[in-house]
Structure 1
Amino acid sequence: MRPSRQRRLALLLAAVLVPAAALVVGFTSTASAATVFSDDFADGDTSGWSKSGGTWAVVTDGSPAAQQSNAGSENARLFAGSTSWTAYTVQARVKPLSLGATGHVSLLARASGSTVHYRLALLSGNRVQLQAVSGSSVTVLASAARTITTGTWYTLAIDVTGTTVRGSVDGTTIGQATSSLVSAGRIGLQTAYSSASFDDVVVSTGGTTPTTPPATTAPPTTPPATTAPPTTPPATTAPPPAAGTLYVATNGNDANPGTLSQPLLTIQRAHDLVQPGGTIAVRGGTYAPSVTIKILKDGTASQPITLTSYNGERVIIDGENMPYTPGAVDSSIPRPDRGALHVEGDWWRFVGLEIVNGPYGIFGLDTNNGRYERLVTRDNYESGLHIQGASSNNHIIDLDSYGNRDPRKNGESADGLAIKEGSGTGNVVRGARLWRNADDGFDAWLFLSPILIENSVAYDNGYNYWNLPNYTGDGNGFKNGGGNDPRPAVAHTTRNSMAWGNSAGGFIDNGNPGSLVFERNTAWDNGKAGFDVSRSTSVVNRNLSVGNGTNVSLGNSTGSNNSWNLGGTWTFVSTDPATITGPRAADGSIPTSPFLRPTNGADVGARL
């Protein structure tokens, strides 16, 4: 979340600009999507909020949070924002601490006064209601059964656009209705005969978003997502061995034996035929199946199965014809349909393929001992490469993943690379380039085992290049864990990597309280913190952070020989990333460059 000084700046800008042609909120169709307010209460107070009733204080509840502790208060509220705000989404994490039989814990939108607003309420009896409130009159716009447990965090969101009001809990829509009760107003946090904690409040606008990052961020230096990637596997890739090889070609036939002269037509048919130790060699061209390609059989440690491009020819697996491309807003994708390439098998090697326009690019579930080498996952309708579940010993080498977005979640979850919601040791990421993705470059949300990331870069993530409505992309370079409270403590390691030009943080612990390791990394020109390790007990050594919204937020983390320890003014030999973001070396690695090396020659930061 934004630090408090940015929260106050956002409010000041809103107050100044709303009367002046409604340029920040109260958007017309030409306005720009933006985060106009956010507060994570890390400054220890509720300045910028107006209080009405209750006993409010900022406490530590896993992280700093605003807490209303008087469970006997009939009506306790905090308000923020402008009464001129019209079309926006407000989201907050909410934890009921006690929930009275006739009470509620709620998020408010369009509060034109203290008793006129829309409300998303957590109620006793395991109920959630979207309500229109006018004084003592409460109209239920939508209602849903939902288990509500005290002491548990829930993410509540209300979207108000015109006369349409929509509420969701943890990303699941509670309901949508049309109401003309109130057309503009502030946001609010509320309890009635209950107590609760509130955190991570964000208000974002709708409208058409800019095609470049904000003025404070250097414009992207990479080609737009529709440009062919500079990472086609090198022509020096050796052809697969003849023995045990099945061939696939765009002019093949699945009735063929799968030889080089009589190839198969589909990768799925080759999968069904291949045996442990075998290779599927795919000739150049575009393959556009109408259903997910499912990798369900296993190789072995001594006989892995390989799926590769043939002789370095450019192979594109295009998922545009598959279901859920894209999925409907707020919908879910059945697990078997996730991924243009859906992997549940063990001991597979994927080499030199380009996966585009899929419902995820590659989705791995409970998959082990995989190698993902020199792949391109771009322009997919969810994360480019996503691994979850019980998944161990997967190595992701020289991945390029960019342009991935998720219209069904308004940018909330499409990462370049995600290893999340699971566990398993031995997962490694090396040489990845993750850019221009809707959410984050790398995300390890709720992955319970250590991951090693090294020699990788993440840049230009979190900007709405696709004009997604109600945009919620986070925009971090490397997000190292986190999850629902109590957030798991996981000791991920990030070494010799760079994050620049992301809309939010460069390297963040995301609330992961573990002992993470950050060594010789560089953060430059990120919108928020270069390094935010304030909620962990990380060890940070020889890192370089320059020109970010905040260069470092340490908390209880420790380290030495970082730029902030050494002090002074830091400049770079080069701020031109063209070499690093251009064509890869013949072996698939990121080319060497003086980009972001300190002018003074100090042994600090990444060397790529």
Structure 2
Amino acid sequence: MLVTALATLTALATAPGALGATLFGDDFEDGDTGGWSKSGGTWSVVSDGSAALRQSKLPSDLARVFAGSTAWTDYAVQTRVRPITLSGATSYVGLAARSTSSTTFDRLVLTGEGRAELQAVRSGAVSVLASVPLVVVPGSWYTLRIEESGGTVRGYVDGTAVGSGASQSGKGRIGLQTLGATASFDDVEAGDVSSPSPSPSPSPSTSRSPSPSASPSASPSPSATPGTGTLVVAANGADTNPGTLDRPLATIQKAVDLAQPGTVIAIRGGTYPLTANIQILKSGTADRPITMTAYGTERVVIDGESLPNTPAPVGGSIPRAQRGAIHMEAAHWRLVNLEIVNSPYALYCDGCDDNVFERLSTHDNYETGVQIQGASSGNLVLDLDSYGNRDPRKNGESADGLGIKEGSGTGNVVRGARLWNNSDDGFDAWEFLSPITIEDSVAYGNGYNRWSLPDYTGDGNGFKLGGGGDTDPPAAHVVRNSIAYGNSAGGFIDNANPGAITIDHSTAWHNVKTGFDASDAAATLTRNLSVGNGTAAVLGAAANGSGNSWDIGGTWNDAALVSTDSSTLTGPRRADGSIPPSDFLRPRNGADVGARL
């Protein structure tokens, strides 16, 4: 179990020095691990916003990679690290310096029990030189830095000192490490270190990855005041409390009101019934986003059953400000590992930029699970589960699993989503004018009247790729490595969008109508698989494609598939939030067509 302590990092007198002449640097943009030697784990370069080095083996004993020279003496080394999975209190991710062997080095780690520790390790024996509590939020980026000078080692997290102590040796290489954890590492730099700077400051991010989490500020004051540290919310708290672990706030809205760029709002497990929706109208910054997350692995349920419009009357409308248990008009937020139920929209984001919505579960709401609209750009929806959403007020025709619609803005990405059993569509991009990228996602069972709604009008498509209105605006949406199956209408449809849609390596299976419908789009379809649909594919005059199952010929039926058992795909997610891999709907003959999930 991931445990997060919630006292704050306190800056020590000595700030990190400036990085001088470069000894070593690797941003992994070349796509390889040249210059690194491995000891344990599974290491590879992956895309994590930008190219990054990922240790992906879990469960895993100590996994290490090393670089540089054993002759290096006084230097500083830093890296950005993104913990993805911390599997217990003893797990950690970290940075090493002055390594004379695979078991002897100085090390700075972020631990699964919620601490940053500076350690000296000699022949595997660990001495903790300094330690401070720190909320470690999986999925956030942190900058770790070690400075070695003479017989002293110093450690910093996001520019704030953890402490110092006696170095275990006078020279050695640099290293990256995990234990019982998976993580991405990026922007590794080693160089001479000059005199300490006059004050601490976070290292700038040079990556397109989600911004590093800012380190918390000094210890909280006796009463709740705005700040950039950690604010704790618990069902047994009080809004007059300072928002610490032992004296938490009671409401999420109070924490939102107090938050400033860099704040982490950590919500203890429990159900939080709302009588007014949570309004997020202030923004973080690119280098100091505001994070709202469940505390550790605790289950947080935000319940909007007592909000207005649950449901709205048939033919009624929901006032804009009342849309969403969480109503957002803000930028640079991270919402992580929250469950939102029984609300008039779960998450409604209008005019939102550069937010990350990660591992959310939005189900049984009275409108769309997650809706992003208006002038919204640069948002990432990662590992979303959105299901069972319906809209009695519109007889089922509006509640999607995920909608990015009625707006414009570049750079919106959906990755790892599962969208199922919603009354309308799984994914809907109706009247969104800018390209949206959808990857590694699945939509199934949408469009069926599971609630006995009268005069049912749910559409029932897996992925509805734009269109709508009288002019059917063009938008060049992109879908890769995704699956649509068992929907009451189509799998992947252009919905009269004439834009240059791209659909690549995706699978449509047992949808009632058309598997791939590009009747109007100037679409490019490559290496897609259509099996058991009402119609395999319909391509209009402006569409083109190659290598698809209907192009290469052969018999494509259920017997041509390795497995039609979806239980792994639809079962529990992996610890890092990803969809567990399986042979579901893979071609038995090994043909390079369709999705691999």
Q: TM-score, normalised by structure 1?
A: 0.61
Task: Name the residue aligned to 1:202.
Answer: none
Does the aligned pair in 2 maintain the 1:515–1:538 contact within 8 Å?
Answer: yes
- C-alpha distance in 2 between matches for 1:234 and 1:297: 30
Q: What's the secondary structure of 1:272's corresponding residue?
A: helix
- The reply to whether residue 494 of structure 1 matches residue 479 of structure 2 is yes
Letter in 2 for 1:405: R
CA-based RMSD: 1.2
- C-alpha distance in 1 between matches for 2:377 and 2:87: 31
Superposition deviation, residue 555 in structure 1: 1.0
Superposition deviation, residue 234 in structure 1: 8.9
Task: Name the residue aligned to 1:289.
Answer: 274
Does the aligned pair in 2 maintain the 1:234–1:588 contact within 8 Å?
Answer: no
Task: Name the residue aligned to 1:265.
Answer: 250
Superposition deviation, residue 484 in structure 1: 1.0
- C-alpha distance in 1 between matches for 2:471 and 2:254: 45
Superposition deviation, residue 235 in structure 1: 6.7
Measured against aligned partners, the alpha-carbon deviations of 1:300-348 in whole angstroms (never above 9, x if no partner) come to 0011000000001000000001000000111110100000010111100
- The reply to whether residue 594 of structure 1 matches residue 595 of structure 2 is no
Task: Name the residue aligned to 1:253.
Answer: 238
Superposition deviation, residue 238 in structure 1: 7.3
Measured against aligned partners, the alpha-carbon deviations of 1:457-486 in whole angstroms (never above 9, x if no partner) come to 000000000000000000000000001121
- C-alpha distance in 2 between matches for 1:390 and 1:488: 16
- C-alpha distance in 1 between matches for 2:374 and 2:381: 16
Measured against aligned partners, the alpha-carbon deviations of 1:260-313 in whole angstroms (never above 9, x if no partner) come to 100000000000011111110000000001011101111000110000000010
- C-alpha distance in 1 between matches for 2:278 and 2:363: 17
- C-alpha distance in 1 between matches for 2:321 and 2:590: 51
Measured against aligned partners, the alpha-carbon deviations of 1:336-370 in whole angstroms (never above 9, x if no partner) come to 00000101111000000000001000000001110
Superposition deviation, residue 453 in structure 1: 0.1
Letter in 2 for 1:559: G
- C-alpha distance in 1 between matches for 2:346 and 2:257: 21
- C-alpha distance in 2 between matches for 1:595 and 1:558: 27
Task: Name the residue aligned to 2:297.
Answer: 312
- C-alpha distance in 2 between matches for 1:561 and 1:484: 33
Measured against aligned partners, the alpha-carbon deviations of 1:489-525 in whole angstroms (never above 9, x if no partner) come to 1000000000000000000000000110000000000
Does the aligned pair in 2 maintain the 1:234–1:312 contact within 8 Å?
Answer: no
2:362 aligned residue (367, 377, 381): 377
Task: Name the residue aligned to 2:419.
Answer: 434
- C-alpha distance in 1 between matches for 2:363 and 2:375: 25
Equivalences for residues 410-489 of structure 1 within 5 A: 410-489=395-474
1:400 aligned residue (382, 385, 389): 385
- The reply to whether residue 553 of structure 1 matches residue 538 of structure 2 is yes
2:347 aligned residue (345, 349, 362): 362
Does the aligned pair in 2 maintain the 1:319–1:340 contact within 8 Å?
Answer: yes
Equivalences for residues 18-57 of structure 1 within 5 A: none
Equivalences for residues 194-343 of structure 1 within 5 A: 240-241=135-136, 243=217, 244-343=229-328
Measured against aligned partners, the alpha-carbon deviations of 1:559-605 in whole angstroms (never above 9, x if no partner) come to 10000001111210000000000000111000000000011110000
**Structure 1 residue runs of 4 or more that deviate by more than 4 Å after TM superposition:** 233-239
Q: What's the secondary structure of 2:406's corresponding residue?
A: strand
Structure 2: gaps spanning 5 or more residues: 1-84, 89-111, 115-134, 137-215, 218-228
2:561 aligned residue (551, 572, 576): 572
2:594 aligned residue (581, 586, 605): 605
Does the aligned pair in 2 maintain the 1:343–1:363 contact within 8 Å?
Answer: yes
Q: What's the secondary structure of 2:456's corresponding residue?
A: coil
- C-alpha distance in 2 between matches for 1:530 and 1:379: 27
Task: Name the residue aligned to 1:7.
Answer: none
Task: Name the residue aligned to 2:337.
Answer: 352
Equivalences for residues 516-535 of structure 1 within 5 A: 516-535=501-520
Q: TM-score, normalised by structure 2?
A: 0.62
Task: Name the residue aligned to 1:209.
Answer: none
Structure 1: gaps spanning 5 or more residues: 1-232
- C-alpha distance in 2 between matches for 1:473 and 1:506: 15
Change in CA separation of 1:439 and 1:606 when aligned onto 2, cut-off 3 Å: same
Does the aligned pair in 2 maintain the 1:268–1:294 contact within 8 Å?
Answer: yes
